[in-house]
Amino acid sequence: MATTTKQSSHLLKLIILALMGTISMMLMFLNFPLPMLPQYLKVDFSEVPALIAALIFSPGAGIIVEAVKNMLYLIYTGAGDPIGIASNFLAGVLFIVPVSMLYHKFKGVKSLVSGLVTGTIVMAVGMGVLNYFVLLPAYSLFMGWESMSDQVKLVTVTGGILPFNVIKGIVIGVLFVPLFIKLKPWLEKKRLAVS
């Protein structure tokens, strides 16, 4: 009996993660550019379902939702821009993991807000470093361009990627905190149902 209960709770968890990943992928299409930043940098709310999964279960669950979202998006769009999809996955992981780790350690709205601030900083700095050293050179190679000079990479990171990720983190945080306060009883119920 205990084995059956454990299997059904495991199945429920997988269903929730798959559903969150699918919702997350759909939210990727509802995006908008920010004024005065490059048009290819667009804000979307696809991190919200991954954040919910990470808060119900664990940071690993949030990473799984991010992976499902990006795999589905890759399949749906036909792999036109694998570097952009890798960037989206990395940014999501850098944002979600600190939020969920702090929340699971201290469990409350204050820890969630601290996590969102920390996640925004980690995402902005992490994506700046990753873009400078890995993603921008890989994108140049993928597009068949000449390799970017250090100055072009620096301007791209400081003038576009860094401020974009800070703004994205703030926008998601401002949206997520009131949503979390409304959803907290439901989140607790779901956590108990699958534990």
**All domains of the chain in start order, with CATH:** 2-30+41-194 (1.10.1760.20)
pLDDT at 154: 94
- List the single range of 38-52, 76-90, 120-134 with lowest mean pLDDT: 76-90
Least Cα distance to 69 among 135, 23, 16 occurs for: 23
Could you give the CA distance from residue 153 to residue 135 in angstroms, rounded to a whole number? 10
What integer best gives the mean pLDDT of the chain? Answer: 89
Strands in the chain per DSSP E: 32-33, 42-43
**Residue 75: its H or E element:** helix 59-77
Position with higher pLDDT, 144 vs 87: 87
Query: Would the pLDDT of 139 be above 90?
Result: no
Q: Are 159 and 193 in contact (CB under 8 A)?
A: no
Query: Does the model's pTM come out above 0.75?
Result: yes
How far is CA 53 from each of CA 46, 59, 78, rounded to the nearest angstrom?
12, 8, 27
Phi, psi angle pair for 32, to nearest 5°: -150, 145
pLDDT digits (tens, 9 = 90+) for 98-126: 999 999 998 888 999 999 999 999 999 99
